[in-house]
Amino acid sequence: MKATFRTPKTKKGRFGLLAILFIVLLGSWPVIPLLNNETILFGMPLLMVWSVFLIILTTTTLVVLNKIGVND
């Protein structure tokens, strides 16, 4: 099977792709070293709080994108 990458053709599709890429960048190398310290917030290390925030942000973004019909 040939694997291909389909680019979005609509404004909604491009918005969805940019939203997901933004979230991926928030969880990657440039941000993580800034948060990897011994600060405690809500009883958890700051990096763990950031991870929980990313999970909530990703879930919320996917629900919103599903509601506006990006995959239609």
pLDDT at 8 over 90: no
Q: What is the domain range of residue 40?
A: 11-68
Q: Does residue 30 belong to any structural domain of this protein?
A: yes
The model's pTM: 0.81
pLDDT, tens digit, 9 for 90 and up, residues 26-47: 988 888 888 888 999 999 999 9
pLDDT at 1 over 80: no
pLDDT at 69 over 90: no
Instruction: Say what percent of the chain tops pLDDT 90.
Output: 57
Q: Does residue 59 belong to any structural domain of this protein?
A: yes
Q: Does residue 2 belong to any structural domain of this protein?
A: no
pLDDT band at 72 (very low <50, low <70, confident <90, very high): low
Our measurement of the distance from residue 36's CA atom to the centroid of its chain's CA atoms, rounded to an integer in Å, reads: 19
Instruction: Give how many domains the chain has, as a whole number.
Output: 1
Element (H, E) at 51: helix 46-68
Q: Does residue 33 belong to any structural domain of this protein?
A: yes
